[in-house]
């Protein structure tokens, strides 16, 4: 190994860490903007939601929700999400002589959303939009054996040089209904568009994308 190779071996981890730290700083900046904006009068809600996608792009989704209602027209919302995303782009990086299907990456994600109420008579419609950051916790793919047996095969993302971090944008549209004591139930459609190439070292471009239908509820807990 020559001196240049030794230098690259030493500096490359720091280059990767610098990219991750940039994403973390962006994430913390979003946090600060959300919390600073809530020093004024706001109703706080906690809630839960769950869902999936009819077309298997999102295999499973569960979220804890915090919402700060600023006015009757908009709120700030953040969530802690566990989601399983199918990404068929990973098949390009798996052994071609094996029958892999449905590669899944499990993420912990945190979005920062503005929730806008749409003034339509007779319908409590809302729209949400905002950035999301996610970190991959695990990955696997279904392996179809010659005897017809299906096995879940673990994928180590580092081994195929796929990034663990993901950043993208959330868009959503939903309908909510007040039930009692300011409690709410809702149904929504969410679309996620990944903006980070998960395989930056190769020619293949791999991005996350997904749609989900979610059901949830919100409970008021405090008023500032």
The pLDDT tens digits for 3-60 are 334 334 333 444 444 444 555 555 555 555 555 555 455 789 999 999 998 776 788 8
More confident of the two residues 139 and 59? 139
Across the range 209-216, mean pLDDT stands at 94
Whole-number Å distance between alpha carbons of 208 and 194:
5
Q: What is the pTM of this model?
A: 0.78
List, in order of start, the domains of the chain with CATH numbers: 3-223 (2.40.160.20)
Which residues 6+ apart lie within 8 Å of 56 measured at CB? Answer: 86, 102
In terms of C-beta density within 10 A (0-12 exposed, 13-18 middle, 19 or more buried), how is residue 111 classed?
buried
CA angle 208, 189, 76 (to 5 degrees): 90
Whole-number Å distance between alpha carbons of 191 and 222:
30
Across the range 101-116, mean pLDDT stands at 94
Give percent of the chain above pLDDT 90. Answer: 49
Q: In sequence order, what DSSP letters do the residues of 16-40 get, joined into one string? A: HHHHHHHHHHHHHHHHHHHHHGGGS
Give percent of the chain above pLDDT 70. Answer: 78
What is the model's pLDDT at position 86? 92
Query: How crowded is the C-beta side of 94, counted as CA atoms within 13 Å?
Result: 23
Indicate whether 135 pLDDT > 70. yes
What is the model's pLDDT at position 17? 44
Residue given tokens 């409690």 in the structure block: 183
Across the range 65-94, mean pLDDT stands at 92
What is the model's pLDDT at position 170? 95
What is the model's pLDDT at position 12? 43
Indicate whether 130 pLDDT > 50. yes
**Nearest Cα residue to 210 out of 176, 171, 181, 180:** 171
Beta bridge partners of 176: 186
């Amino acid at each position: 190994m020559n001196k240049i190779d030794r230098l690259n071996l030493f500096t490359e981890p720091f280059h990767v860490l610098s990219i991750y730290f940039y994403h973390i700083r962006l994430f913390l900046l979003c946090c600060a903007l959300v919390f600073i904006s809530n020093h004024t009068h706001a109703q706080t809600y906690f809630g839960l939601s769950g869902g999936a996608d009819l077309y298997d792009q999102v295999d499973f989704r569960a979220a804890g929700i915090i919402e700060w209602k600023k006015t009757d027209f908009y709120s700030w919302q953040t969530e802690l999400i566990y989601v399983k995303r199918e990404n068929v782009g990973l098949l390009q990086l798996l052994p071609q002589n094996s029958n892999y299907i449905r590669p899944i990456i499990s993420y912990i994600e945190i979005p920062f959303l503005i929730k806008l109420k749409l003034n339509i008579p007779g319908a409590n419609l809302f729209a949400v939009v905002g950035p999301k950051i996610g970190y991959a916790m695990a990955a696997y793919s279904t392996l179809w054996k010659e005897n017809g047996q299906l096995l879940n095969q673990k994928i180590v993302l580092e081994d195929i040089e796929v990034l663990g971090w993901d950043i993208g944008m959330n868009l959503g549209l939903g309908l909510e209904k007040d039930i009692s004591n300011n409690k709410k139930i809702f149904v929504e459609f969410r679309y996620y568009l990944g903006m980070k190439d998960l395989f930056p070292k190769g020619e293949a471009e791999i991005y996350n994308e997904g749609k989900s239908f979610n059901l949830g509820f919100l409970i008021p807990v405090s008023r500032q």
